[in-house]
Chains A and B, each alone.
Chain A
C-alpha cells in the first residue's frame, strides 16, 4: 500500500487490446481510469464512461448573454441616455444593433470556448503532468497505448492496481510517484512574475519613448484636423470678403433673441413679462443675475457689488423706491439697452434669461420688503 503514488500505468501494444482491457479495469473499481493514446480512438469516450463536456452549454449561455449585453449597451446609449436621430431613423432602431450583437455573441462564445476549455475544464496552467515524466511517455507519443489507474484518494492501492493491469494484458506496468504539489503561488513566484512584468514595462516604455524621440512621428490619421472648416477670428477663402466670421444676414435674429425692446424706456413700460413665476424660471434668473448683474448691483440688489468698492462706481440701488415702482418692461429695457454707465446685456442673455432676471429682481425687492403675509406663504 503506497499512498504517495499518483498512478499506475499499463502499456498495451494495440488499440484493440486497450479497448478490451478498459471494461475489465473499470469493473475493478480501483482509482480513476484514464487512457493515453497517440491519436484519438473511436469509441473510447463511451468505453471510459467520460461525461459529456459541459462546454457546449456554457458557450450557448455565454453567447446569448453576449447578444443581450450588446443589445442592452446599444439600446441604453442610443435610445435612453443620448438619443440622437440619425438618417431619419428612430434612436431605438434594432436593425442597427444586430451587427454588433452578432460580433459580441461570437466574442463571448469564443472566449468561453477557449478559456473555459483551457482553464475551467482542463485545469490549466498545470506544469509538468506526471505522465510526462514517466518512462512510458515515449511509447505513448509514438505507437503504444496506455491505460492509467489514477489515485482518487489516500486509500489508492497501487499494488492491486498494478496486478489488475497485468492481468488484463498490459505489456509493461509502471508506478508513477505523486507529483510535487507544493503551493503554486509562492512569494518567490509572485516576485519573479511582478519583476518580469515590471521589466517588460520598462523595456516597452523606453522603446516607445526613444522611438518617438529619435524618429519623426507620423500622424496616423489627420482627416479631422485638416478638414476644410471656418475658424473663429481666422481668415477664410470661402467667403468673398475673406473673413471666417460673418455678420448675420440682414433682418435675421438668432433663435431665442427675439424680440428686442425697441423705442424708449417709457414705451417699453407696457411690456408684460411672458414667463410664469416658477422655481425653474427663478433658478435661471438667479444664475444669470449672479453672472451678469451681481458684480455691480450686489447680491441683494442694493447697489453694493464687489466692483463698487474696487472702482468707486455708483450702480443703481434696485431697492430704492424709484425701482420698486418700476414696471417690469422698464427693467427689461434697461437690461437690453443698458442705462447710463450700464452696458447692454442683449448679446449675453437670451430672451428667456432677460425676463427671468426681471422676475428675480422682483423677488429680491420683495425679499427686502417682506410683509407678514409673505411669511405665511413660506410657512408649512
Chain B
C-alpha cells in the first residue's frame, strides 16, 4: 500500500509541477505555443479514450468471446473521455489563436472565405459539443451498462450492446472525422485530405490497443486477471501488429497521391514536414511507428511474450505522441519546439491521465463478472 501511495504522491507531484509549467508557458512562451500544446494533449487523450471505446464496441459488434475477460480494461480507459471534456472546452480558446479559418482575415482569403461558416468559432464549438455528447452517450450505454451488469448479471445488456454497436460505428466514424478535420486539419485549412479521419483513427486505435495491453500486463502482474493467458495477449499483439501496417498504408497512400499530383496547395503540407529538422522527425516517425514495431512483432512468439509486448506498447504510445506532434507543431514554424513547456504539458496531462486511470482501475470488478460469455472467453485458446 505504501508503494501505491508513493506512486500516487509522485503523480500528484508531476501534475503540480506540470501545472506550474503550463501556467508559465502562457506568460513566458506565448499563447501560440501554449495552445498548440493544449490541442496536442487534448487530441492525444481524446483519441486514446475513443480508441479504447472502439475496442469495446468492436467486441460487441462482432460478438467476440476471447476479449470478454479483458473488456473491463478498455472500458476503464474509455472513461478518459469524461475528464477530456473540460480540456476540450478550455481548448476552444485556441480557436481564434491557432485556427486561421476562425480569424477575421479569413473573410478576405480566396479559399477560406468559402469555408468561413464551417470554420467559424460558433459552428466549430457546436461540432465539438456534438462530438462530446455522442461520446458520453456511447460511454453511458456501453461502459455504464457493462458496470451495472456486474451486479445484475442480466444478459439483456449484451443484446442491447450488440444492437447499439453498429450505430456506434457510425457515431465513431463521425466523431473521429470531426475531431481530425476540425482540431488537426483545421490548423491548415487550405489543405485537406479525405482520408485524414481514417489516418487519425488508425493512430487512435493503436494507442487504445497499446494502453489496453499495458493495463492487461499491469493487472496480470498483480494477479488480478486470473485466467487471462498468452493466447489473449497474442490476439492483442496481432491487432497491434496488423494496425501498424494499416497506419502506414493510410499514411503512405495519402502522401503518395499528393506527391504524385504535386498540387501546390496539397504538397505544401509535406514540403513543410520534409524540410530541415521536420524531415528527420518524419523519417523517425516512419521508423518508430511502422518499421520497428512491425519487425518487433512479426514472429509468433513475439506476440505472446509479455516483455516484448510491453516494450512495443510503450513504443507505440510514444510514436502516437510523435505522430500527433508531427501533425500539429509544424504550424508554429520550421523549428520543432521541444523544451520545458512541452515537458510541463506532458507531465501535467500524462500525470493527470494516469491518476484518473489508477482511480478507474480500483473501481468495480477487474473482469465483467456479469457477462454470460466470460467463461467462454477465459477458455479461449488459439
Residues of A at the B interface (CB closer than 8 Å) are 42-43, 56, 60, 87-89, 95-96, 98-99
Contacts and interface: CB of A to CB of B under 8 A. Distances in A.
A95 B262 contact: no
B298 A60 contact: yes
B256 A98 contact: yes
Interface in B202-259: 252, 255-256, 259
19 contacts: A42-B381, A43-B381, A56-B299, A56-B300, A60-B298, A87-B260, A87-B262, A88-B262, A89-B260, A89-B262, A95-B255, A95-B256, A95-B259, A95-B260, A96-B256, A96-B260, A98-B252, A98-B256, A99-B256
What 9 A-B pairs come out closest when comparing CB atoms? A42-B381, A95-B259, A95-B256, A56-B300, A60-B298, A98-B252, A87-B262, A98-B256, A88-B262
A274 to B, nearest CB: 41
Interface string B99-121: 00000000000000000000000
A162 to B, nearest CB: 33
Given A89-B262, A95-B256, A98-B252, 13 more contacts: A42-B381, A43-B381, A56-B299, A56-B300, A60-B298, A87-B260, A87-B262, A88-B262, A89-B260, A95-B260, A96-B256, A96-B260, A98-B256
Interface residues of B, number: 10
A87 B262 CA distance: 8
Nearest to B380: A42
Contacts of A98: 252, 256
Contacts of A60: 298
Q: Which of B260, B300, B381 has the most CB of A within 10 A?
A: B260
B254 to A, nearest CB: 12
B238 to A, nearest CB: 13
A201 B88 CA distance: 71
A89 B261 CA distance: 11
A95 B381 CA distance: 41
Contacts, number: 19
B264 to A, nearest CB: 12
Nearest to B298: A60
B326 to A, nearest CB: 18
Interface in B355-382: 381
A56 B256 CA distance: 30
Nearest to B299: A56
A87 to B, nearest CB: 7
Contacts of B300: 56
Contacts of A96: 256, 260
Contacts of B255: 95
Nearest to A42: B381
Interface string B49-75: 000000000000000000000000000
Contacts of A87: 260, 262
B209 to A, nearest CB: 22
A100 B160 CA distance: 45
Contacts of B381: 42-43
Nearest to B300: A56
A60 B299 CA distance: 9
A87 B252 CA distance: 19
A348 to B, nearest CB: 42
Interface in B114-160: none
A43 B260 CA distance: 52
Contacts of A43: 381
Contacts of B256: 95-96, 98-99
A208 B150 CA distance: 70
Contacts of A56: 299-300
A197 to B, nearest CB: 41
B259 to A, nearest CB: 5
B145 to A, nearest CB: 32
A42 to B, nearest CB: 5
Contacts of A95: 255-256, 259-260
A56 B238 CA distance: 14
A22 B328 CA distance: 60
A42 B381 CA distance: 7
Nearest to A52: B300
A89 B258 CA distance: 13
Interface in B175-192: none
A90 to B, nearest CB: 11
A99 to B, nearest CB: 7
A87 B300 CA distance: 43
Contacts of B299: 56
